[in-house]
Amino acid sequence: MLRTSTLFAALLLVPLAASAEATLSGFIQQNTAFNTAGQNPDGRHYKWLEERAQLKLDATEGDWRLLAKGDLAYDHLGRQDGSELREGYLDYAGSNWDLRLGRQVITWGLGDLVFVNDFFPKDHEALFAGRPLEYLKRGVDAVKLGAYPEFASFDLVLAPNFRESRTPDADRFRLYDPMPTVANRETVKPKEGDVALRAYRDIAGYDAALYLYRGFQRTPSMRPDNMTATTKITYFYPKLSIYGASLSGRAGEGVLSLEAAYYDSREDRAGDDFAVPNSQTRLLAGYQIQPVEDVSLGFQYYAETMHDYDAYLAALPAGFPVDKRWSHAVTARLTQLFLHQTLRFSAYASYNASNGDRFVNPELRYSFTDKIWGAVGANFFGGKSWGQFGQLSRDDNMYLQTRYEF
């Protein structure tokens, strides 16, 4: 419904675009990802096989700006839901405030594929299926109000409808399922929207920010109707509030990033509902350096802890995997540029010391011309069968991306 209305609003604004300074750009793209070990649950060998075209209209008139970015996609694996309005919004820029109305991608926080204060919907499947990085983020239909008084800057995001993150498709990825025999499943989405606030400013050369969120978990939890004789599983998005902070700036030769957040699981404050995530504290420390020309190294340490661990243990049904109270993970990324920065090698690796979860993503990307680039890469997963990456350990894949931009 909202998508239609956004599209309709965008169409209404076409006359504005006609009188304004407007640019039209876009790309066509081929994207293939194939399994390197085993096959999909649906028997196929491809994680992704798709042609895609994007058109982007960007029009400015005085203090107004209209941006519409739409994708048309053809999926050879028979899932035709890839065509979408990626972004479509109207901007108004006042002197010390601004407004953005419509579908927009918002990214907060400092993490590299680790999210502490980035509350906005993501597409985890895009990351695991070797799609270009921009598809990691999903737009939200929201009003974003920016206020920039002298002492600090503020972003307030009001979304009337909740939008969830996209999790990998169970036909393409081998996802952990504690109750594989139950076929009757239903997903219930929140009826309300959510709200997020960020306040940020410079403090002694450091970028400091505070974050607040009131809404829901972006990935679903599952609740069986009956523990002993389950006939139906309901997926739902538990209520969640987040209170976070971040700081980044120069430290020694590199850039230090620190993030922390308290995840208040409002639907299970006692922590004794096994279906709802426990309240958590999440901590992230990152450091990035450039040891030599055209080489960048980034390291992250990430920890999360459950606040009502004893209640969690007591409530967990027999046979369900047990998470540890503390989870510690480290990540590393190497990026190196060659041939006047037209060839880029990057490798990302993450390892969770608490459950053995691991993920490696090497990628080589080359710009054949200023308009055509291609990338080849791989996703390797490992760990316990119920871990975030471990469950995908038979979903290792290699991918190709080719894009012509105009």
Residues that bind another protein (CB under 8 A): 21, 25, 27, 60, 65, 91, 93, 98, 104-107, 110, 132-134, 136-137, 146, 148, 153, 200, 205, 207, 248-250, 253-255, 257, 288-290, 292-294, 296, 337, 340-342, 367, 369-371, 373, 403, 405-406
- Report the C-alpha gap between 379 and 396 in whole angstroms: 6
Nearer CB in complex with another protein: 87/273 = 87
Cβ neighbours of residue 77 closer than 8 Å, sequence gap 6 or more: 44, 46, 48, 49, 50, 172
Nearer CB in complex with another protein: 251/314 = 251
Nearer CB in complex with another protein: 127/182 = 127
CB of 162 to another protein, least distance (A): 20
CB of 271 to another protein, least distance (A): 33
Range 317-323, long-range pairs (CB < 8 A, 24+ positions) = 317/227, 317/274, 319/178, 320/178, 320/274, 321/178, 321/384, 321/386, 323/355
Nearer CB in complex with another protein: 105/400 = 105
CB of 262 to another protein, least distance (A): 23
CB of 205 to another protein, least distance (A): 7
Instruction: Write out the DSSP string of 300-355.
Output: EEEEEEESSHHHHHHHSPTTSPPPPSEEEEEEEEEEEEETTTTEEEEEEEEEETTT
Is the backbone of residue 3 left (phi > 0), alpha (psi -120 to 50) or beta? alpha
CB of 80 to another protein, least distance (A): 24
CB of 69 to another protein, least distance (A): 10
Nearer CB in complex with another protein: 267/405 = 405
CB of 395 to another protein, least distance (A): 23
Nearer CB in complex with another protein: 167/342 = 342
Nearer CB in complex with another protein: 284/315 = 284
Quote the strand ranges of 165-313, DSSP E. Answer: 184-188, 194-203, 206-216, 221-224, 232-236, 239-251, 254-264, 280-289, 295-306
Nearer CB in complex with another protein: 133/170 = 133
Is the backbone of residue 160 left (phi > 0), alpha (psi -120 to 50) or beta? alpha
CB of 248 to another protein, least distance (A): 5
Q: Is 359 exposed, middle or buried (0-12, 13-18, 19+ CB in 10 A)?
A: buried
- Report the C-alpha gap between 367 and 341 in whole angstroms: 9
- Report the C-alpha gap between 200 and 213 in whole angstroms: 15
CB of 73 to another protein, least distance (A): 17
Nearer CB in complex with another protein: 302/312 = 302
Quote the strand ranges of 126-177, DSSP E. Answer: 140-147, 153-159
Question: Are 47 and 29 within 8 A, CB to CB?
Answer: no
